[in-house]
Chains A and B, each alone.
Chain A
Amino acid sequence: MALVHKLLNGIYILRKCPMPSAASCLFLGPHFADYCSSSLQKPVTAPGKVDYPQGKSKRDLQAHHQTEVALDITSEDKPEVSFDKAIRNEIKDHFLRLKDEFVNRWIGPEGRPLHEVLLEQAKVVWQFRGKEDLDKWIVTSDKTIGGRSEVFLKMGKNNQSALLYGNLSSEAPHDGESGHSGYCAMISRIPRGPFERKKSYDWSQFNTLYLRVRGDGRPWMVNIREDTDIIQKKNQMYSYFMFTRGGPYWQEVKIPFSKFFFSNQGRIRDAQFQLLLDKISSIGLTLADKVDGPFFLEIDFIGVFTDPAHKEEFAYENSPDLNPRLFK
């Protein structure tokens, strides 16, 4: 489990290495280039070959694969480490993404025709059907601040769901300054376009969040972050609670976007604002219920839809006593 987690992180480090830390990339490159140039799924070509057989036809390659798969599997230990090739592939991939962006823009928003986008009433945004779907999420726990919670993410049975599991420990880290601890979270990565430009989701046609989960009775918090252009926006998020039942049946959680409340730097603010849906950048599920022990959450998919019966625009009011400035 930890190995899978580490492998996933390894791929992340090479692919998402930003330009300014090119030096560290160069240092880390050779260690992780093997994950890039030979992916985890494909069998490798014949051992001892230095470069990919680019001149060869597909038939020859297949023949090679057929002969090689039967052989010793430990040939995977020595994949070719071609740093230049990895860089070139990365650049080519970025230019391909740029070209896709232009073509998709011509077709319509997100590559689909506009009338289709406007008429859409339900959309699955994240689903868990393979390892590449797990790559879109980051799992984190209070281990980063010195706590003892552990959290892992893996694919569930038959690759039909993802299982987020681990152990929550509310023992405070012994660093002399934190008094509380104990949280585990799964946060979606911000979608990136060409050259690692941050993109955002536009959910303005929808009004409810839909999650199909199977939990263990613990209360989770669903957090939505908006576009993080400006530095202050990194600390702002909109949250709501998701109470899971422990049963063997799948649970469908529908949270209207009007119910999300605003918090800044982890504190719920007196001044509440509506969640605006045209620039959502990431969603997260957090467990911080101060109960020590193991936990698990199985997630089938996360989507958004339009609930025609839901008429509320915003569930909270601002009070002139607490925030007179808002009413000037």
Chain B
Amino acid sequence: MNPIIFITILLTLILGTVITMISSNWLMAWMGLEINMFAIIPLIIKQHNPRSIEAATKYFLTQATASMILLLAALMNFMYSGQWTIMNFTNSMPPFLALMALTMKLGMAPFHFWVPEVTQGSHLTSAAILLTWQKLAPLSILYQIFPSINHNLLLYSGILSIILGGWGGLNQTQLRKILAYSSIAHMGWMAIIISYEPSLMLLNLIIYILMTLSSFMLLIGNSNTSTASLAIMSNKTPLTMIMLMGVLLSLGGLPPLSGFMPKWLIIQEMTKNNSIILPLIMAMLALLNLYFYMRLIYSSALTMFPSNNNMKMKWKYTNLSYSTLLPTMFTLSMLSLPLTPMMNLLL
């Protein structure tokens, strides 16, 4: 893509999210979401093929529907309360609509069907932006309106996201789909904890973004899109393989790594609020996620899978396109567990 156009699109993307995050007016928030959506569509189609155009179409349809429903919620709120400020709602209908719109935007169950398809259809870089940056704007709206949203609905949506995110990722061989299902599951964890402790939702978001970005950077560096191509990575760049293994284990929430931190704090917060069975179910369902990450690690780092000559030819070419931020992101996404006592100060 032409560099000037690429910079313009990226800046528009940033503009959209920032407008949503800083606005106190419902219309401005909606406008930011729309700008965001329009800016990312060319990024999805960056690599022209029918699959990416299909992905962009599906993304546009779902996000436009969600924006419309959010606008409807804002208008109904104006009708009932007479003001446009993003505050807690007075009536019960607008928050329900807003929740529906935000779950569609975030890709939470029961509106999660677009996430694997769109992620799979787009280029690795666009998929990375889709799964990380695009979550910021809707979550900032959710952060502001969560007290008036029906707590039970949020809980059901969250637990369903965790179930479907774990279940859906079980048999995937395509890496982008695996990361899409992991995103659905993490959104579930965030949705459940927001009613108890919203700062933990922010912590979960930050750690999730760090881990997902690290994994995407590693995959982009080797242009890996399927499990079969991971098999050859251990011979070509063993360090990348180890890093990917670490990041995937962190995504799964394994204790000495920093992915465990949000899960631990969420479970602790929920048990403090006398909810025992739900965190138990959530923790057990997180095992499904860990299972498919482990399977990925097994097929790539721990064993050497047979692959065809196409992949083997990649040995010749060393790749210099790793992002400069990769070591930092990787360190933060793996080794920040000892910082947990400080989290109360940071958030």
| Nearest-neighbor residue (CB-CB) of A276 within chain B | B51
Task: Tell me whether A230 and B58 are in contact (CB under 8 A).
Answer: yes
In the complex, what distance in Å separates the CA atom of A226 from the CA atom of B295? 28
| Nearest-neighbor residue (CB-CB) of A262 within chain B | B50
| One of B28-36, B85-93, B276-284, B304-312 at the interface | B304-312
> Which of the four size classes fits the interface of chain B?
20 to 34
Task: Tell me whether B173 and A202 are in contact (CB under 8 A).
Answer: yes
Q: Is B269 an interface residue (CB 8 A)?
A: no
Chain B positions within 8 Å of A52 at CB level: none
Q: Is B57 an interface residue (CB 8 A)?
A: yes
The prevalent SS among residues of B at the interface is helix
Within the complex, the shortest CB–CB distance from B49 to chain A, in Å, comes to 4
Task: Tell me whether B228 and A115 are in contact (CB under 8 A).
Answer: no
Give A226-240 as 1s and 0s: 1 = Cβ < 8 Å from B's Cβ atoms.
100110010010000
Within the complex, the shortest CB–CB distance from B76 to chain A, in Å, comes to 32
Checking B49, B172, B306, B309 against A311 with a beta-carbon cut-off of 8 angstroms, the contacting residue is B309
Interface residues in A49-96 by Cβ distance below 8 A to B read: none
Chain B positions within 8 Å of A205 at CB level: 173, 228
Chain A positions within 8 Å of B57 at CB level: 230
Within the complex, the shortest CB–CB distance from B60 to chain A, in Å, comes to 12
Q: Is A125 an interface residue (CB 8 A)?
A: no
Chain A positions within 8 Å of B50 at CB level: 226, 233, 236, 262, 273
Chain A positions within 8 Å of B148 at CB level: none
Q: Is B226 an interface residue (CB 8 A)?
A: yes
Interface residues in A8-57 by Cβ distance below 8 A to B read: none
Q: Is A176 an interface residue (CB 8 A)?
A: no
Q: Is B156 an interface residue (CB 8 A)?
A: no
| Nearest-neighbor residue (CB-CB) of A231 within chain B | B57
Q: Is B1 an interface residue (CB 8 A)?
A: yes
Task: Tell me whether B49 and A273 are in contact (CB under 8 A).
Answer: yes
Contact status of A118 and B308, CB under 8 A, knowing A229-B54, A276-B51: no
Task: Tell me whether B171 and A105 are in contact (CB under 8 A).
Answer: yes
Q: Is B174 an interface residue (CB 8 A)?
A: yes
Interface residues in B116-146 by Cβ distance below 8 A to A read: 117, 120
Give A205-227 as 1s and 0s: 1 = Cβ < 8 Å from B's Cβ atoms.
10100000000000000000010
State the interface size on chain A (CB cutoff 8 A). Answer: 35
Within the complex, the shortest CB–CB distance from A103 to chain B, in Å, comes to 12
Chain B positions within 8 Å of A309 at CB level: 309
Q: Is B64 an interface residue (CB 8 A)?
A: no
Checking B54, B117, B174, B227 against A118 with a beta-carbon cut-off of 8 angstroms, the contacting residue is B227
Task: Tell me whether A306 and B308 are in contact (CB under 8 A).
Answer: yes
Checking B48, B295, B308 against A207 with a beta-carbon cut-off of 8 angstroms, the contacting residue is B308
Interface residues in B43-60 by Cβ distance below 8 A to A read: 48-51, 54, 57-58
| Nearest-neighbor residue (CB-CB) of B299 within chain A | A118
Contact status of A204 and B306, CB under 8 A, knowing A118-B299, A236-B50: no
Chain A positions within 8 Å of B226 at CB level: 204
Q: Is B339 an interface residue (CB 8 A)?
A: no
| Nearest-neighbor residue (CB-CB) of A326 within chain B | B48
Within the complex, the shortest CB–CB distance from B232 to chain A, in Å, comes to 13
Contact status of A311 and B313, CB under 8 A, knowing A105-B167, A114-B171, A328-B2: yes
Chain B positions within 8 Å of A108 at CB level: 171
Task: Tell me whether A271 and B48 are in contact (CB under 8 A).
Answer: yes
Interface residues in B282-332 by Cβ distance below 8 A to A read: 295, 299, 305-306, 308-310, 313
Q: Is A140 an interface residue (CB 8 A)?
A: no
Chain A positions within 8 Å of B167 at CB level: 105
Q: Is B155 an interface residue (CB 8 A)?
A: no
Task: Tell me whether A118 and B1 are in contact (CB under 8 A).
Answer: no
| Nearest-neighbor residue (CB-CB) of A117 within chain B | B173
Task: Tell me whether B173 and A118 are in contact (CB under 8 A).
Answer: yes
Task: Tell me whether B49 and A276 are in contact (CB under 8 A).
Answer: yes
Of residues B5, B171, B226, B228, which shows the largest number of chain A Cβ atoms within 10 Å of its Cβ?
A: B171
In the complex, what distance in Å separates the CA atom of A281 from the CA atom of B74? 42
Q: Is B72 an interface residue (CB 8 A)?
A: no
In the complex, what distance in Å separates the CA atom of A307 from the CA atom of B309? 9
Q: Is A119 an interface residue (CB 8 A)?
A: yes
Task: Tell me whether B228 and A118 are in contact (CB under 8 A).
Answer: yes
Q: Is B270 an interface residue (CB 8 A)?
A: no
| Nearest-neighbor residue (CB-CB) of B54 within chain A | A230
Contact status of A204 and B313, CB under 8 A, knowing A114-B295, A118-B305, A233-B50: no
Within the complex, the shortest CB–CB distance from A271 to chain B, in Å, comes to 7
Q: Is A270 an interface residue (CB 8 A)?
A: no
The contact sample of 13 A-B pairs, CB cut-off 8 A, is A105-B170, A115-B299, A117-B173, A118-B228, A118-B305, A121-B306, A229-B117, A233-B54, A236-B50, A306-B308, A308-B308, A328-B1, A328-B2
Besides the contacts A118-B173, A204-B173, A310-B308, what 10 more A-B pairs have beta carbons closer than 8 Å? A119-B305, A119-B306, A226-B51, A262-B50, A273-B49, A273-B50, A278-B120, A307-B308, A311-B310, A328-B5
Q: Hey, which bits of chain A sit against chain B, CB under 8 A?
A: 105-106, 108-109, 114-115, 117-119, 121, 202, 204-205, 207, 226, 229-230, 233, 236, 262, 271, 273-274, 276, 278, 306-311, 313, 325-326, 328
Ordered nearest first, which 5 A-B pairs have the shortest CB separation? A109-B171, A273-B49, A326-B48, A308-B308, A311-B309
Q: Hey, which bits of chain B sit against chain A, CB under 8 A?
A: 1-2, 5, 48-51, 54, 57-58, 117, 120, 167, 170-174, 226-228, 295, 299, 305-306, 308-310, 313
